[in-house]
Amino acid sequence: MSEASPSTFSKIKSLVSNNKKQFIGGLILLIIIIGLIIYFVLSKKQNQIILVVSSNCAKCPEEIERFNTTWKDPNNPDAKTAKASIVDKDTKKGRKITKKYKIDAFPSIIAINKKGEYLIMDLSGSSDDNLLAKVADAVQVAHARGVLHRDLKPSNILIDGAGRPHVSDFGLAKRLEAADSVTFSGAILGTPCYMSPEQAAGSRGDVGPASDVWSLGAILYQMLTGRPPFEASSPMDTLLAVLETDPPLPRTLEAGVDRDLEMIALKSLQKPQELRYHSAGALAGDLRAFLAGEPIAARQGGLADIAARLFRETHHAVVLENWGLLWMWHSVVVLALCVTTDVLAWQGVATRWPFSVLWAGGLALWAPIFWALRRRTGPVTAVERQIAHIWGGAMIASVLLFGVEGLLGLPVLTLSPVLALLAGLVFFAKAGILSGAFYIQAAVLFATALVMCLVRTDLQHDITHIIFGLVSGACFFLPGLKYFRQRNRAGLSN
């Protein structure tokens, strides 16, 4: 045996020497085969959708069942979402669902060119126009089963080899009927470019099916224009844009965008939830109506819709929670100034300077106190600065009325009804920026100016300033009380 081994090795060595090229070729072929096997295994894993969740969620059978369920509409076989693995991210153990749904898909519903740029999709009549309608159907099925996606974006909509869309990545999903969810209250979750205002607002927002409708609208917007509706230099700036600005009209970015598709996208991107489509299914219906050449719901609106838009709160109304208590104090200050003015008039004061000192000094003292107290409640937003400028301008104009009276040679306090007009203008501006309900205060104050003219008598019996003080004070106090209570309720819920 000891002599057999050298002989065997010699034969192998001789065989390799005589067939060196064949041996090297076989070795290279073996390496290629092994590489192909590794590539196949890795590529297969990359097509699996894996959701990583927290320990509490991974150990909860209900949550696992929710994530691992395939929602399928029997009337629409294309409308389905993907099953997923659930892995405990904290312990790397826990319960793990091994069922996986393989999607051989392109990375996104929106095409990307070689430069990595999103391409504008032609929605004028091709057979793929109803892709987003099918996606909306899938989202509607998920909503009907009590699941909210919360992170819809192009990269989460996969197209299989047959051209069918699939909604994937329910990693931020939550049950609609649940009091809590896989996320914590106050967390801002999602992708900023496609995130709804209520999601961007964190705990102050009421996230629901309309939030997914917004995200679908953002995807449609990008399909039309080649860019998301909101873009900024940082995620935080993008969030602020989502909260405070409106997206550019699609036709200003891409002249060929159909007007009806533009209206569908913009209706989906309305900041107040009640002005969007009431469901993802309604959005899908409007997209199909466009494809069929039928009238779209985005163009229709009755008297009730007009009234709802007129008197609704805007997305900026949340800032009023920071002003509630201050408005209540402001109503007291205004009433005190008005009562003091009439008391001075009853005492026979007819010169101009005491009233000028009273109003200029009182407002000059109160304004910085007011602003300092506001800054203590948190950062001041851009819209609050705009409101503060409007309010400050009205206060300056109120004080300058005494100078105008003097230059015109009018008796003191002759132009007092203008105070109500200025206050009405302030609330009229607030109605357009914050809440349409302020149109009521504006109308009441405009009417108060007329009443002040009608009831005006000699200074010794004048009560016009008290009337203005009571009305103006109520206009500030009542909404201030409402938003003060709203802020307290939000604090308790957190």
Rounded to whole angstroms, the Cα distance separating 321 from 205 reads 13
Q: Is 458 annotated as catalytic?
A: no
Q: By CB neighbour count within 10 A (0-12 exposed, 13-18 middle, 19+ buried), where does 92 fall?
A: exposed
Residue from 285, 279, 280, 277 nearest 301 by CA: 277
Q: Which two tokens stand for residue 422?
A: 């200025």
- Out of 137, 151, 286, 342, the active site residue is 151
Tell me which residue has tokens 């109120």.
398
Place of tokens 């609704």: 312
78 contacts 165 by C-beta, under 8 angstroms: yes
* CA separation, residue 330 to residues 87, 367, 442 (Å): 55, 9, 17
Rounded to whole angstroms, how far apart are CA atoms 196 and 151? 10
Query: What does the block give as tokens for 71?
Result: 């929602």
Please tell me the total number of residues recorded for the chain in this structure.
Answer: 494
Tally of CA atoms within 13 A in the half-sphere of 441 that contains its CB:
28
User: What is d(CA 395, CA 423) in angstroms, rounded to the nearest whole number?
Assistant: 9
Kindly list the catalytic residues. Answer: 151
